[in-house]
Amino acid sequence: MKKKILIFGKNSFIGSSLYTFLKNKHFVKIESFNLKSLKKLNKFDYIINCAINKKYINEVYSKDNDFDFNIVKNLNENTNLIFLSSRKIYKPKANIYEGSKINCLNNYEKNKYKTEKKILSIKKDKSIILRISNIIGFKKNNPRRAHHTYIDYLISKIKKGELILNHNEFKDFLDINTFSKIIDAIIKKKVFGIYNVSMGKKVHLRELNNWLLNSNKNKKKLKFIKLKNKEKNQSFYLNNSKLKKKINLEININQLQKECIKLSKKFFY
């Protein structure tokens, strides 16, 4: 059955990608977040907020800067918020599950976790909190973008003629198409709770870099730079078994590889 879905974040990478994927499966609108939009939230079955206040990223928590809290406090019992939290609230390590130790270091991580708790206090058993890994996909140029991802970092180094020398470092990545399928499955199967959204396995950076550099004819000329010790200790991957049991969706690394090679053509052709 088709659902009515409102997505906030017209210019965001995840928001615009979700809209493109979901619009043929549900009744979907995408808008910019503002005070007027809060008055029509309950006309929808699901709200997905992909907009963020830069002060929420950089400053100590304030309710005024928390778009998701301002959304959830205005919802009735029939409208649900899908909160896009972050894997950064965990301490980096292998096989992180939802009950793993929370280890928030900066304001962004602390704020995400505080929002989780506020949503749980309002929605309780009908909350949907997704702790999301790194999402890979093509981003349109947006000067107002608040977040910079691993790909942004990689491309900035390549423009300087540099490439990080990765040995055994790994992270958890997920392509945007699979992420969109997961959101669709969560909606269709009426899933509630706290879940890791991820590939669920190690993705070694040296392998990922090879896929992303697939179409770069000058990759042999790049100067290798060693990682700092602090950066070496940031390897992680999330355990996604709890979510997979709920949505029964195949999540594999082949789709990530295809997305990276497709991105490589956009970057370097």
Given the structure tokens 């939230």, which residue do they identify? 41
DSSP 142-171: -TT-----HHHHHHHHHHTTEEEE-SS-EE
Q: In angstroms, what CA-CA distances link 227 with 106, 209, 230, 232?
A: 21, 14, 8, 6
pLDDT at 268: 79
Across all residues in the chain, what is the average pLDDT? 91
- C-alpha distances (whole Å) from 18 to each of 6, 12, 168, 180 are 11, 10, 33, 6
The conformation of residue 36, written as its DSSP 8-state character, comes to: G
Whether 110 contacts 88, CB under 8 Å:
no
Percent of the chain surpassing pLDDT 90: 71
pLDDT digits (tens, 9 = 90+) for 124-182: 889 999 999 999 998 776 555 566 778 888 888 888 888 887 778 899 999 999 999 99
Give residue-wise pLDDT tens across range 187-213.
999 999 999 999 999 999 989 999 998
Domain that holds residue 24: 4-268
**pLDDT over 60 (residue 226):** yes
Here the tokens at position 251 are 């999540």
Query: Which of 145-149, 204-208, 242-246, 253-257 comes out lowest in average pLDDT?
Result: 145-149
Q: Is the model's pLDDT at 19 over the cut of 70?
A: yes
- pLDDT for res 67: 97
CATH number at residue 54: 3.40.50.720
* pLDDT at position 2: 93
pLDDT tens column, 52-82? 999 999 999 999 999 999 999 999 999 999 9
Count up the domains in the chain and report the number: 1
Average pLDDT on 104-118 reads 97
User: Considering the entire predicted model, what is its pTM?
Assistant: 0.93
Q: How far, in whole angstroms, is CA 171 from its chain's centroid? A: 14
Residue 2 token pair? 């088709």
